[in-house]
Amino acid sequence: MGLFKGSGVAIVTPYNDDLSINYDRYVELLHFHLENSTDAIIVSGTTGESPTISDDEKLKLFKIAVEEVDGKIPVIAGTGSNDTMHAIHLSKMAEEIGVNGLLLVTPYYNKSTQEGLVRHFTAIADEVNIPCILYNVPGRTGVNILPSTVAKLADHKNIVALKEASGNISQIVEVARLIPDDFYLYSGNDDHIVPLLSVGGSGVISVVANIIPKETHDMVMAFLNGDIKKAAELQLLAKPLIDSLFIEVNPIPVKTALNLMDMNVGSLRLPLIDMSEKGKVVLVNEMKKFGLI
């Protein structure tokens, strides 16, 4: 079984002025999502600035999420790495804390062959007893998990889903064709939610859900409940807002958006920097159109 159906938020990591993690604000964000129909919390993903968060910080974020969410929805920990042994260590620690599943990005920089990907993900999944979600985002990692590789990994009892962010609809359709019925497919691109659902997807692991959690949940649920027209309308309505969240490197725009909504999530750790004034004009314009500010 997959972990959830619907909208999982790739939650931001809020910072204080000195760029230490603002754990109090993080608790507030978790409750904001519980109150606004978010279906799962994904901690320490790309949007959570995982590359610049220490292991100790990650484990604390996982622990707080598990405690605050209190079993209401799944908590999924981003524990992937380009170092297989490190990913195993972090995954086992996250499992001990009580997370409901793991999000495992493909190795990056040192990369891997397709057979290397099979061995990497298998090695991690062998060491835990909770569901694992593969994460394919070749635009960031330089590595693409081919559909045939996904199908092979789907045989593992602990590998239950794929977050697909290749942006390649042909590839997504081929993955959907090859995976078993009990394997979940999640969109990793907010502008592809409905297209991916149309070939059997189960939901999204979302950036835009940080600012419009209810609408993102409603989009997925409308589709899954058979109201294709409403789902498509919500997808198209959100498209300009979604585009504005990616005019600079994620999560720069979405943290800017949350700050504009008085959510006070702070700045970003280098090498990420604050949004340009030019970019902010575009973002503000789309947020106003959507009624967010």
Question: Residues with Cβ < 8 Å from 203, sequence gap 6 or more?
Answer: 4, 5, 6, 7, 8, 39, 184, 186, 187, 193, 197, 220
Q: Supply the pLDDT for residue 74.
A: 98
Q: Is 26 a catalytic residue?
A: no
Q: Supply the pLDDT for residue 3.
A: 86
Q: Supply the pLDDT for residue 1.
A: 45
- CA–CA gap between residue 290 and residue 234 (Å, rounded): 11
Q: Supply the pLDDT for residue 2.
A: 58
Q: Is 58 a catalytic residue?
A: no
Q: Supply the pLDDT for residue 143.
A: 98
Residue 286: both structure tokens together: 């789309």
Active-site hit among 15, 58, 63, 135? 135
Write out the chain's pLDDT in tens, 293 residues: 458 999 999 999 999 999 999 999 999 999 999 999 999 999 999 999 999 999 999 999 999 999 999 999 999 999 999 999 999 999 999 999 999 999 999 999 999 999 999 999 999 999 999 999 999 999 999 999 999 999 999 999 999 999 999 999 999 999 999 999 999 999 999 999 999 999 999 999 999 999 999 999 999 999 999 999 999 999 999 999 999 999 999 999 999 999 999 999 999 999 999 999 999 999 999 999 999 99
Active-site hit among 58, 152, 163, 280? 163
Phi, then psi, of 128 in degrees rounded to 5: -125, 170
Give me Rg for the CA atoms of the chain.
18
Q: Supply the pLDDT for residue 235.
A: 98
Give me the count of residues in the chain.
Answer: 293
Domains in the chain (CATH in brackets) are: 6-225 (3.20.20.70)
Q: Is 225 exposed, middle or buried (0-12, 13-18, 19+ CB in 10 A)?
A: exposed
Q: Is 212 exposed, middle or buried (0-12, 13-18, 19+ CB in 10 A)?
A: buried
